[in-house]
Amino acid sequence: MKMIKATSFAAVVLASAVFYGCASSNDKMDDTTASDVNMSETQTMAGDTEADDADDADAVVVTEEVVAVTPIAALSLENTEEVGDMFKNIADTKTQSLMDLAKQSPNLSTFVQLMETAGLTDDLQADGSYTLFAPTNEAFSKLSKEQLETLLLPQNKNKLSEILMAHILPNEVASTSFKETQRITLDNNRYIPISTATGNQVTIGGAHIIVPDVEASNGVIHVVDNVIMATNDSMNGGQR
């Protein structure tokens, strides 16, 4: 099985048994799909750091620091504009970073607040070519109040970061390039399944892409209607 091994921000691998020839003419992925592309597990979007053993490195590294608690009451959990109108008031999305675009959409305000709480906003403003699955406010409202309150605690910053980083790929991938034969592989034998069985609708880890292929200066946004949660690969004995 050939795979694109791009283990950086979320330590993800987009794997496909029949990846050759599946990209559309608009797909941003290049000929590196035909071979492994390796980067350090401890690499961040902003730059490289060396690791003695990339395979054993932690996928999520968040330094302990004092962070302000975001009260759940401060989170906007409702969509305030029609989903189809998102980004329409922006003349040229390609001139702005992924994070700058997300900040301009009222429907993504909860995602932005959580990214700020996790200290990850700078990464989505860095140069590069990434794919962001951005859950709407309504998507986060499907989590229980207890789940949100727990994630917002300073001591759970690592867990919050882990969940958010599962929404970011270190390669730019058009929505038309996702196939049933692919999965997004994370650390600890976890993965995110991909489904295109329901017509042309792409589902990533139970989240439907509802606004696809919004191009930014450093990647592409696919707006999704659920928070993506990884699945445990029990065949490999992984623990979720």
Domains of the chain: 60-175+195-236 (2.30.180.10)
Taking the chain (240 residues) in consecutive chunks of 10 residues, what is each chunk's mean pLDDT?
Answer: 35 38 40 31 37 45 48 73 86 92 94 93 90 96 90 91 94 92 87 84 94 96 95 60
Q: What pLDDT does residue 164 have?
A: 95
Q: What pLDDT does residue 72 have?
A: 66
Could you tell me which residues come within 8 angstroms of residue 63 by beta carbon, excluding any fewer than 6 positions away? none
Helix ranges, 104-175 (H): 109-118, 137-141, 145-151, 157-165
Query: CA separation (Å) from 153 to 148, 149, 210, 230?
Result: 9, 7, 30, 21
Q: What pLDDT does residue 88 have?
A: 87
Other C-beta atoms closer than 10 Å to the C-beta of 64 total: 9
User: Taking Cα atoms as reference points, which of 200, 169, 194 lies closest to residue 181?
Assistant: 194
- State the Cα–Cα distance between residues 182 and 176, nearest whole angstrom: 13
